[in-house]
Amino acid sequence: MMKKWTSPKEVLDLIAKEEVKIVDLRFMDFPGLWQHFSVPVCEVKESTFEEGLGFDGSSIRGWQVINESDMLVKPVAETAFIDPFFEHKTLVMICNICDPVTGEDYTRDPRNIARKAEKYLQTVGIGDTAYIGPEAEFFIFDDVRFDQNEHEGYYRIDSVEGRWNSGKEESPNLGYKPRYKEGYFPVPPTDKFQDMRSEMMLSLQDLGVEMECQHHEVATGGQAEIDLRFAPLVEMGDNLLKYKYVIKNVATKYGKTVTFMPKPLWNDNGSGMHTHLSIWKDGQNLFAGDGYSGLSETCMYAIGGILKHAPALLAFTNPTTNSYKRLVPGFEAPVNLAYSSRNRSAAVRIPMYSNSPKAKRLEFRCPDPSCNGYLAFSALLMAAIDGIQNKIDPGQPLDKDIYDLPPEELASVPHTPATLEEALLALQADHSFLLKGDVFTQDVIDTWISYKLRNEAKALALRPHPWEFAMYYDI
């Protein structure tokens, strides 16, 4: 496991020892894409960690206006790692964003929001650490093409594993293509990406990211999952960025392309990011107890907060129009807001792999990997804290297959939002729990809603869909 550096001096010593040529400075934009710029090592001194380096914030999505464009990146020493993909030896550091005039942390910096969420947990005295464990799924494709203009629109995906290629002339076609919904998880040669996924997992370990397992997922066409070991909230936000970066670049090395888009294939399972949460204090797991499924009263209240605020939460945990193509019945996606032990059709599940108090946690199954991890994890924690503070009763568990409930019983179970716009409207109506401790500011909430509505929900609504032609062209 890679050593974690704790001070600017240690990072500078590492640069000298490894003969690093370039320092790459990274941060996350508002919607959730990693950004970077590079400087020669001579530009990085101990003072740089305090004073920062300037860049144009007006060119970053959802950030500054043009007349307030100057921003600072301040590298965080403990995030340093040697990039495994660049030709010239490059040291990467994740940065915090600051205003150059006031010196204050930038309120729209997602990492800053995550840092404030961790601090708020400690300030209110509930716990000192929130552990997050996401299970991010993704697809490995061989080719993807898409375009839309005023008179045409299409996408085309291909995969050597795709069941749709069973009859294709491949000179020769060797078969062994996972059937729809049956990719979990035959051995090779049906599973064609074992070595690639192992390289992804080992590469992440080399960067200091603790891993748990890797495997094929349910869908055909190369769906995969590589699980990160749980970590504190901000650290997991950093790790999720490294995760996506490594997976995409290893796939590129193999001539493949990876997407974390939740539902790229119609009529097969989409990619979720089931997210595990537990809150600890003084080395004790506050979610362990002698109640339902070995949970504490604190954990039950946390579940109550998550279920109550779930429609608003999904604006951050499921933040794309495509997210709601996954959240439909019949594909293992949790569309009903209930909790249960073992039942994977519930929005909140209590994993039962172990009875150890240390392993007790809740699993929020709605999120998908298109999300901005810093924002999604922070919103999830804030909903849990609100449930604990206000002792929100989650009601009775639903220990049965939700999809097989009779209609009259199913009608009483609340549902997830059906569209991104519906989730954004829920956030607009229910966000006071996010404003506590100044974790999310009103500006962040307003900017998120307006950005997502204008650039995504409304933009999609304006465009004809290919299936509309099949349904309506001859009317």
Q: Report DSSP state, residue 288.
A: B
Pairing outcome for strands 22-28 and 339-341 = unpaired
Distance of CA 285 to the CA centre of its chain: 24
Asked if 119 contacts 111 with a C-beta cutoff of 8 angstroms, the reply is no
Asked if 218 contacts 183 with a C-beta cutoff of 8 angstroms, the reply is yes
Which residue out of 29, 191, 225, 421 is catalytically annotated?
225
**CA distances in angstroms from 85 to 153, 210, 214, 337, listed in the order given:** 35, 19, 21, 42
Asked if 318 contacts 324 with a C-beta cutoff of 8 angstroms, the reply is yes
Asked if 56 is an active-site residue, the reply is: yes
Asked if 229 is an active-site residue, the reply is: no
Which residue out of 29, 135, 235, 421 is catalytically annotated?
135
d(CA 450, CA 108): 14
Contacts of 436 (CB under 8 A, 6+ apart): 120, 382, 385, 386
Asked if 365 is an active-site residue, the reply is: yes
Which residue out of 26, 108, 111, 274 is catalytically annotated?
274
Which residue out of 36, 215, 344, 415 is catalytically annotated?
344
d(CA 316, CA 371): 7
**CA distances in angstroms from 158 to 140, 232, 247, 264, 454, listed in the order given:** 10, 37, 19, 11, 31
Which residue, among 323, 330, 287, 326, has the nearest Cα to 130 in the 3D structure?
287
Asked if 361 is an active-site residue, the reply is: no
Asked if 135 is an active-site residue, the reply is: yes
Partner residues linked to 133 by β-bridges: 276
Asked if 43 is an active-site residue, the reply is: no
Which residue out of 161, 363, 386, 421 is catalytically annotated?
363
Scored b (16 or more CB within 10 A) or e, 9-46 reads eebbebbeeeebebbbbbbbbbbbeeeeebeebeebee
Six-digit token string for 214: 């890797």
Asked if 163 is an active-site residue, the reply is: no
Asked if 363 is an active-site residue, the reply is: yes
Which residue out of 365, 421, 431, 456 is catalytically annotated?
365
Contacts of 26 (CB under 8 A, 6+ apart): 34, 35, 36, 92, 93, 94, 95, 241
Asked if 61 is an active-site residue, the reply is: no
Scored b (16 or more CB within 10 A) or e, 130-155 reads bbbbbbbbbbbbbeeeeeeeeeeeee
Residue numbers annotated as active site: 56, 135, 137, 217, 225, 274, 344, 363, 365
